[in-house]
Amino acid sequence: MKTLIINGSPRTQGNTAALIEELKRHLEGEVVELSAFRSRIAPCVDCRACWTTARCVVRDEMDVVYADDFDNVVVASPVYFSTVPGQVLSLFSRMQPWHCAMFFLKQPLVQHRKKAAVILTGGGKGNCEGAFHHLRAFFRMVNAHGFREHMALSLKTDTIPAWEDEAAMESVREIARWLSGDEPA
């Protein structure tokens, strides 16, 4: 089993990092963590090469996602202004070749079904509704399912850090059990 974790936080010792570490402690199999902030993934620039090839011409760490060789995908991110940070959205924008394959070229990709989960952290009012639109679109593109039922939310980090949020920590452990389990995606 192989799990891809997309880390959407710029902070290496912050709330999102604490929940990712808890997930990794309980997750079985190989884990690949891809940082939206520290990777060199370029955003889509609408060069339109994928309109004819269904492939991105840019070669960078996005190739990890394009390889489609993982069984689980987790997006772990802070929430900024009710959605995921811009670097995560830039990474998501690079799904354009797969979108073109499905909708413009009518050549759907053959992808195996994956399990999806989400870890979100944030303070303030704890509103993360805007993130769900982007997450749903991304997970649809990578053929990953189940994130709405498998979320860990720590949305009061201005008053309680994620590593002290027992409900969020337990949700992360439940996600790890689900991702490591035998039930299909």
Going by pLDDT thresholds of 50, 70 and 90, the confidence category of residue 184 is: low
CB 73 within 8 A of CB 138: no
How far apart are alpha carbons 2 and 160 in whole angstroms? Answer: 32
Query: How many Å is the maximal CA-CA distance in the chain?
Result: 50
Tens-digit pLDDT profile for residues 93-126? 999 999 999 888 988 787 889 999 999 999 988 7
Residue 104, pLDDT score: 87
Tens-digit pLDDT profile for residues 25-60? 999 999 999 999 999 999 999 999 999 988 999 999
Q: Say whether pLDDT at 168 is over 90.
A: yes
* Domains of the chain from N-terminus onward: 2-180 (3.40.50.360)
Q: Stretch 11-15: mean pLDDT, rounded?
A: 95
- The Cα-based distances of 125 to 121, 122, 142, 154, 184 in angstroms read 11, 8, 30, 11, 35
Helices in the chain by DSSP H: which ranges? 15-26, 50-53, 63-66, 86-93, 96-99, 129-141, 166-180
Tens-digit pLDDT profile for residues 129-167? 889 999 999 999 999 999 999 999 999 999 999 999 999
Among candidate residues 72, 89, 77, the one with its CA nearest the CA of residue 128: 77
Residue 111, pLDDT score: 85
Residue 110, pLDDT score: 79
Residue 24: Cβ within 10 Å count:
14
Quick one: DSSP state of residue 54? S
Residue 17, pLDDT score: 98
Residue 183, pLDDT score: 66
Tens-digit pLDDT profile for residues 60-99? 999 999 999 999 999 999 999 999 999 999 999 999 999 9
Going by pLDDT thresholds of 50, 70 and 90, the confidence category of residue 8 is: very high
